[in-house]
Amino acid sequence: MKTTQRNIKDKGHPVPQVAGLQNRIFHRTEALLLLVGIALAAAGAAQPISSHPASIPDMRHIATGWEIPSKHYVDQPYIVQTDDNAWLCCITTGTGREGAPGQHVVSMRSTDQGKTWSEPVDVEPSGKTEASYAVMLKVPYGRIYCFYNHNTDLVKEVKREDKGVYTRVDSLGHYVFKYSDDHGRSWSTERYDIPMRAFDCDTENVYGGKLKFFWNVGRPLIHDNAAICVMHKVGAMGAGFFARSEGAFLKSENILTERDPAKVSFITLPEGTIGLRTPPGGGRVAEEQSIVSLSDGSIYCVYRTIDGWPACSYSRDGARSWSTPAYKTFTPGGKRVKHPRAANFVWKCSNGKFLYWFHNHGGRFIGELGAGGKAGRSPYDDRNPVWLMAGRETDTPEGRMIQWSQPEILLYDDDPYIRMSYPDLVEQDGKFFVTETQKTIGHTHEIAADLLQGLFNQWDAKSAATKGLILDLADKKPLPAQVAMPRLPLLNRRDPKSEDQRGQDLRAGFSIGVWFKPDNLNPGQPLLDSRDTDATGILVSIAEEGSLRITLNDGRSECTWSSDKNLLTAGKPHHAVITVDGGPKIITFVVDGVLCDGGNQRQFGWGHFSPYLRTPNGASMIKIAPAVQALSVYGRAIRTSEAVGNFKAGCPD
């Protein structure tokens, strides 16, 4: 995917682009370094590969996306498709950090699927009053509504539940809307308040409900001839900023047809005074609800917690009541999905299936101070990479529910500290696009068609992947004790075109698929061994507590990662695909068709390897243990969906 020419932003101020520079400088340096990079490019000097997003051979890398203009801070780049065939994007932006004074809402239009954008138009101007966290709704006759927080009362600070105060005031006040009747080219001068019924979490806050705390990131839903807006109520400000939260909904049964905005009415749901909270025994945080309709008229809602798993609930009566919240599972009553305190959104696609954005690890909030007074892990960390799952409806005694595929890596950045979130999905002309923000840069990305095809078809996949297959020992019985080991692709190399001969990241990878039937689970016994006399090469072995381990050695460094524990049983055939993905530098294990996510034993089931690891080519032969029944090696990193298909293709026994 190619990037487009643009102005580079220096702390919110445009820096004129040097003539002839075709690719934007990747925003990861200070302004002075950016200017130096521009000058070097203009002079024709060689630059590091990371300065050339178009040269990155992996469309999952966020730098290959198209940038969405902003002043500096950018959040919630959400899109609606207008009736004049444009994309309308609305963002919260400002010249400071998130929550800084002057934060406001703007919109812009694109007629080339997010590659370029018109000049931003203020929905709310920058000034004394914070306006934040906008979502849009297009009604059937073409009008577009924009809903957002507005600090109408000019609150300057808010009390914390621990007697402190916050001066950040972007998640309170009034919930309001403006509208556009010209496809987002301009917005109504007047803004309209939406009244919200008080819940217990409002009346129990430090102001007794006289001041309400809330915000919204969930896209509105048109359901059964009504519109439902999502609301995240905050019951207390404190540790983690939002210390207590729950979900509510604002439903309008006339907004789809009523043209007088003053007559548009809303009711607050669910009925009663308690919103969507965590499952019984869970924490106090239940927020950023995302909703979709099911084919039987039900509504599915998923939302984040600080418990290590997202929560979900179903409504069978138009959001008036909800099932008892439960932690999200891959199948009804099955294995839990893991996710930290970050946006996790669900979208319904035109094919009737669903896509789900999440981060696939069990980040847990352990407090602002951990044991011994040491700083605790932030619950907002580790939003890189982004993972994507597909969902499909299934019948249950309670009504239709959603079951989910094994996930794929959708997006990543080379720096694992970079966080991307608050996405939107756009489906047009048979293509799928996703937006995201890292808080100072927003992008639009096209999703690879084969990645989506694999996810949507994963339940029916029953054939083994053949693309990139460089060793195939599926049909030989018994397998020989050793065979010639194919040369694996280079993960990096010296860049011969650079004057200083620096390294070049090739973002290549490889996968090893193996069927095996261990007689015992004694740790340390090798299954596959291509190591040379100096330990250079690959070792796949049985590890502790019924797990697998891969060790990669290039003669200069060694990396290792293990599968989840207690997956293997002695005397039983198992299938594993171990993938070394040189794009995000991640090792994954898919064991018996299931991607390892760490289970209850660890936060992550996938692990990063060193970006400096060279290809672990070792001996010319690979030794094969008697327990191995079939072996395949790919000269590329195969996807999770392909690994699932390999497993379903059948055991050699």
Does 33 have pLDDT greater than 50?
A: no
List, for residues 400-437, the tens digit of each pLDDT value. 999 999 999 999 999 999 999 999 999 999 999 999 99
- Give 36's pLDDT tier (boundaries 50, 70, 90): very low
Does 12 have pLDDT greater than 80?
A: no
Average pLDDT of the residues in 119-144:
96
Token pair in block for residue 270: 């669910």
- pLDDT for res 30: 32
Average pLDDT, the chain: 90
Closest CA relative to residue 114, chosen from 424, 438, 433, 422:
433
- Report how far residue 441's alpha carbon sits from residue 9's, in angstroms, rounded to the nearest whole number: 10
- Report how far residue 443's alpha carbon sits from residue 178's, in angstroms, rounded to the nearest whole number: 25
562 class by beta-carbon count within 10 Å (0-12 exposed, 13-18 middle, 19+ buried): buried
- pLDDT for res 35: 33
State yes or no: cis peptide before 310, omega within 30 of 0. no
- pLDDT for res 128: 87
- pLDDT for res 652: 56
Q: How far is CA 177 from CA 174, 256, 550, in A?
A: 10, 14, 54
Top pLDDT among 52 and 247 is at 247
Closest CA relative to residue 597, chosen from 361, 283, 326:
361
Average pLDDT of the residues in 309-335:
97
Does 281 have pLDDT greater than 80?
A: yes
**How many percent of the chain have pLDDT more than 70?**
89
Average pLDDT of the residues in 264-291:
98
List, for residues 101-117, the tens digit of each pLDDT value. 999 999 999 999 999 99
Does 215 have pLDDT greater than 90?
A: yes
- pLDDT for res 605: 97
Average pLDDT of the residues in 150-169:
94
Between 3-17, 372-386, 476-490, 572-586, the lowest mean confidence (pLDDT) is in: 3-17
Average pLDDT of the residues in 440-457:
97
Q: Which domains does the chain have, with CATH numbers?
A: 143-271 (no CATH), 276-419 (2.120.10.10), 469-648 (2.60.120.200)
Between 83-97, 320-334, 351-365, 415-429, the lowest mean confidence (pLDDT) is in: 351-365
First-residue to last-residue Cα distance in the chain: 44
Does 41 have pLDDT greater than 80?
A: no
Average pLDDT of the residues in 616-631:
97
Average pLDDT of the residues in 596-609:
95
Top pLDDT among 385 and 12 is at 385
- Report how far residue 414's alpha carbon sits from residue 148's, in angstroms, rounded to the nearest whole number: 33
- Give 363's pLDDT tier (boundaries 50, 70, 90): confident
Average pLDDT of the residues in 273-287:
97
Top pLDDT among 644 and 33 is at 644
- Give 272's pLDDT tier (boundaries 50, 70, 90): very high
Average pLDDT of the residues in 331-338:
96
